[in-house]
Amino acid sequence: MAAHEMIADDLLAPAASADPHRVLATLREQDPVHWSATHRAWLVTRYDDVAAALGNKALSSDRVRPLLEARKSHDASASDRIRELLSEWMVVTDPPAHTRLRRLAGRAFKQQQISAMGERIERLVDSLLDEFVAGGHTDLIAHVAYPLPATVIAEMLGAPAGDRDRFRHWSDELALVAFGTGGQARPDRHERALRGLEELFDYLRSLVELRRTQPGDDMLSAMMVDDSSGEMLTEDELVGMCALLLFAGHETTTNSIANGVLALLEHPEQLALLRREPETITTAVEELLRFDGPIKVLNRWVVEDFDLRGRSIRSGERVYLVIAAANRDPARFAEPDRPDLSRNPNPHIAFGRGIHACIGAQLARLETRIALAEVVERLPGLRLDDGRPEWKASLASRSLTELTVAHDAAR
Ligand code: HEM
């Protein structure tokens, strides 16, 4: 057996969930285009290769269909219906379907003037931190990082204020869908996901109706307006787009805030720098996204044979583009395993690259900046409460189970 075939490559093993960077460094150095029998996928770990792969037409994003087809034998009816609901999401489509959806969503995003949302997000973070301190809570995820993004997306879509808790609940159910996030171990996850999705889609349909008769300055109303070319999203597409925004923007942003706080706590000299020079927050957020960003792996299917570093990659195979490894490639970043909040330039690919690059990146950055800045400012003496936090066993996302902290803020 060749040495590279013996590399421990199980990214879901407990040690790799706790610290993926060690195993990823070995792969990146010794076998940067690695066939993993464990994952039945190619693991691509060098920055240049991952960045190039994100623009390679031989790699398809149409990944829900084959994934669910492979599972069909276990769970036919639920998978089929989930597939119907989700296979149209732009994140899992290729051009030309993707091009049209992305253009129509991109236009509505532009109209939202994300930069003007800062004040509203500050007020939200403030009130979450008020409750966190006054209630004597300790888990920053449950009380701050988790509720913030769902509330922001619900508001952005124009959902009435009273419905925001339901949004958070649906967002949880969405995370159970078979994308490798959350609850892998739950045998009933397809049924639960399906029930949650059906409820969410029904709700979104009624929201579409409401905004059709009473348009507002929200993003859903903006997505209903005729494009200059006369093109519009169909009702199903509108509903699907809203669900996608909730799915794509919630857990990721929660993890961006939580992983960022943890990295600061584990590197006190960087936390001290941020306290001393709060204006560092902009480069700090980029660095924290590079250092331990929310997305570990992006999944692609090969639709055309190609060669990479002497390996023959064949149509029908699966490729994992390991963002977490690329973002710590020493060929691209000096001292990659050390967070340096003033790192600049910082060409990380935590938001992907190419045609599917994150459409919500500006919003995610704004929320993360405001949340981190306020946590640091309002919680003096912030420290980890209870030993080392645990990471979820998830292939796609880098996600903590909880983040319990202590601090010296007066109640
Ligand atoms: C720090 C938080 C976030 C991170 C790290 C992140 C990361 C990513 C990445 C890596 C992709 C590319 C996926 C691929 O190539 O397969 C992506 C796509 C996407 N993201 Fe984000 N995201 C974040 C927050 C958000 C937010 C807040 C929203 C919306 C409210 C959002 C909406 C989307 C959508 C709709 C796509 C699909 C774009 C397309 O297929 O063209 N994301 N995101």
260 lies in some domain? yes
Q: Whole-angstrom Cα distance, residue 252 to residue 229?
A: 33
Does residue 227 have a pLDDT over 60?
A: yes
Q: Whole-angstrom Cα distance, residue 398 to residue 386?
A: 20
Classified as helix, coil or strand, 239 is helix
Give me the domain span that covers residue 164.
3-406
205 lies in some domain? yes
Q: CATH no. for residue 165?
A: 1.10.630.10
What band does 180 get if pLDDT is binned at 50, 70 and 90?
A: very low
Instruction: Taking residues 360-385, report their average pLDDT.
Output: 97
CA angle 142, 261, 259 (to 5 degrees): 75
Instruction: Flag the least confident range among 174-178, 273-277, 291-295.
Output: 174-178
Does residue 178 have a pLDDT over 70?
A: no
Instruction: Taking residues 7-19, report their average pLDDT.
Output: 94
- Cβ of residue 91 lying under 6 Å from some atom of ligand 1: yes
Average pLDDT, the chain: 90
Q: Are 20 and 320 in contact (CB under 8 A)?
A: no
Backbone angles phi, psi at 11, to 5 degrees: -75, -10
180 lies in some domain? yes
Classified as helix, coil or strand, 4 is helix
Residue nearest to atom 3 of ligand 1 (CA): 252
324 lies in some domain? yes
Residue nearest to atom 7 of ligand 1 (CA): 351
Tokens of 153: 């997306």
- Cβ of residue 260 lying under 6 Å from some atom of ligand 1: no
The amino acid that residue 13 corresponds to is A
411 lies in some domain? no
Does residue 183 have a pLDDT over 70?
A: no
Question: Closest ligand 1 atom, CA of 300?
Answer: 16
Tokens of 247: 């799915």
Does residue 115 have a pLDDT over 60?
A: yes
134 lies in some domain? yes
Classified as helix, coil or strand, 46 is coil
Tokens of 218: 């929200």
Does residue 221 have a pLDDT over 60?
A: yes
Q: Which of 268, 270, 294 is nearest to 368 (CA)?
A: 294
Name residues whose C-beta falls within 8 Å of residue 347's C-beta, 6 or more positions apart in sequence. 332
Q: How many domains does the chain have?
A: 1
What band does 362 get if pLDDT is binned at 50, 70 and 90?
A: very high
Torsion, Cα of 152, 109, 87, 251 (10° steps): -30
Tokens of 357: 């690059």
Question: What pLDDT, on the 0 to 100 scale, is given for residue 163?
Answer: 85
Instruction: Flag the least confident range among 74-88, 112-126, 274-288, 302-316.
Output: 74-88
Name residues whose C-beta falls within 8 Å of residue 213's C-beta, 6 or more positions apart in sequence. none
- Cβ of residue 359 lying under 6 Å from some atom of ligand 1: yes
Residue nearest to atom 25 of ligand 1 (CA): 249
Does residue 404 have a pLDDT over 60?
A: yes
Q: Are 220 and 238 in contact (CB under 8 A)?
A: yes
What band does 361 get if pLDDT is binned at 50, 70 and 90?
A: very high
Instruction: Taking residues 31-50, report their average pLDDT.
Output: 97
Does residue 304 have a pLDDT over 90?
A: yes
Question: Closest ligand 1 atom, CA of 246?
Answer: 30
- Cβ of residue 128 lying under 6 Å from some atom of ligand 1: no
Instruction: Taking residues 142-163, report their average pLDDT.
Output: 91
Beta bridge partners of 171: none
Q: Which residue has the higher pLDDT, 192 or 60?
A: 60
Distance in Å, CA 249 to ligand 1 centroid:
6
Q: Are 120 and 108 in contact (CB under 8 A)?
A: no
Q: Whole-angstrom Cα distance, residue 363 to residue 313?
A: 36
Q: Which of 18, 21, 20, 23 is nearest to 7 (CA)?
A: 23
- Cβ of residue 360 lying under 6 Å from some atom of ligand 1: yes
Does residue 184 have a pLDDT over 60?
A: no
Instruction: Flag the least confident range among 6-10, 77-81, 235-239, 248-252.
Output: 77-81
Question: What pLDDT, on the 0 to 100 scale, is given for residue 367?
Answer: 98
Q: Are 157 and 171 in contact (CB under 8 A)?
A: no
Instruction: Taking residues 312-317, report their average pLDDT.
Output: 97
Residue nearest to atom 21 of ligand 1 (CA): 358
174 lies in some domain? yes
